[in-house]
Amino acid sequence: MKYPYIIFYHRVLLKNLKKFNWQMKCLKSHKKILDISEIENLEENSIIITFDDGYYDNFVFAYPILKKFNLKATIFITTNKITDNPPRKNLYDYWNGKITLKELIDNENDFLSWDEIEIMYKSGIINIQVHSHNHYSHFTSYYFINEPQRKTNYLNVKWDKDKFYKIESQFVNFEYIAYDKRFENYQERIKRLSIEFELPKKLIKQHLGYEPEHFCWPWGEYDEFSLNLGKQFGYKYFYTTERKLICNKINYDKIPRISASFNNITFLKRNFIYPNKSFAKILRLC
């Protein structure tokens, strides 16, 4: 028995190109790769491949390799980051001798364009779904727990931290507005989160012609309030970063995923050892 699961990547940069090619070859040979639209039909030894954020390298490096192996995947895009730039050159141009590999190197912090997204979607290889509009970390209160780089955006560092945490406990799941030295109110939270759900739907409908139903939480952070609000906007499937296999009936409110790795040993463990029934129970992945 080999349990199904969902794997997620972020970047596929030039330095990991050979490893990614090898990984896709392995998955092609030993797994049944499903499209995310088949989430309700997962079966033994099947997996779904996903990417978070929508970085440019998903088009330049990952997409040509996925298409070469005829492997379907989903990119959860952060719509506020998507540009209106024309399509870039990608591995196809390199394979056809039109460009050198070094010329494919681009700004590592750049994101996809709508034209690139449309090319991938129309190929039938890539499904496009939602990772929010602005990629807020504070869909829930975790935004300042063990995350100092996020804390500095919302916490007035001159405050006494003990006092801050005490005050925060009265406003769990609300954003701290630093310039006002206060937490947002209920209506402000609804307005902020509504943008994260509504705008991606409108933009994907405008550019690709359909309304997405799959929502991947930024950093995997959410609460009951944001989950219920997301459902009101028509989302049916919600993806987390909880490291679990899909061992029993899947809960579409909190779909687990296994993170990818470009360490070969880790990749083999996560994809060919973890899913086995005996190991899954020992490792508490069910």
What average pLDDT does the chain have? 87
> Which residue's entry shows tokens 């039938």?
124
Q: Where are the domains of the chain?
A: 5-139+186-282, 141-183
Does the pLDDT of residue 273 top 90, yes or no? yes
CA 177 centroid distance within chain: 26
> Which residue's entry shows tokens 């190197």?
105
pTM over 0.85: yes
**pLDDT: is 251 or 104 the higher one?**
251
CATH homologous superfamily of 5-139+186-282 equals Glycoside hydrolase/deacetylase (3.20.20.370)
Residue in 121, 128, 115 with CA at minimum distance from that of residue 50: 128
Q: Find out whether 129 and 216 touch, Cβ atoms under 8 Å.
A: yes
Residues facing 7 on adjacent strands: 49, 258
138-197: per-residue pLDDT in tens?
554 433 333 333 444 444 444 444 444 444 455 566 777 766 767 778 898 899 999 999
Instruction: Characterise 37 by phi-psi region: left (phi > 0), alpha (psi -120 to 50), beta (else).
Output: alpha
**pLDDT at 157 (0 to 100):** 40
> pLDDT exceeding 70 applies to what percent of the chain?
84
Sign of the torsion formed by the C-alpha atoms of 135, 136, 139 and 142? positive
Per DSSP, the residues of 31-57 read: SEEE-GGGGGG--TTEEEEEEEE-BTH
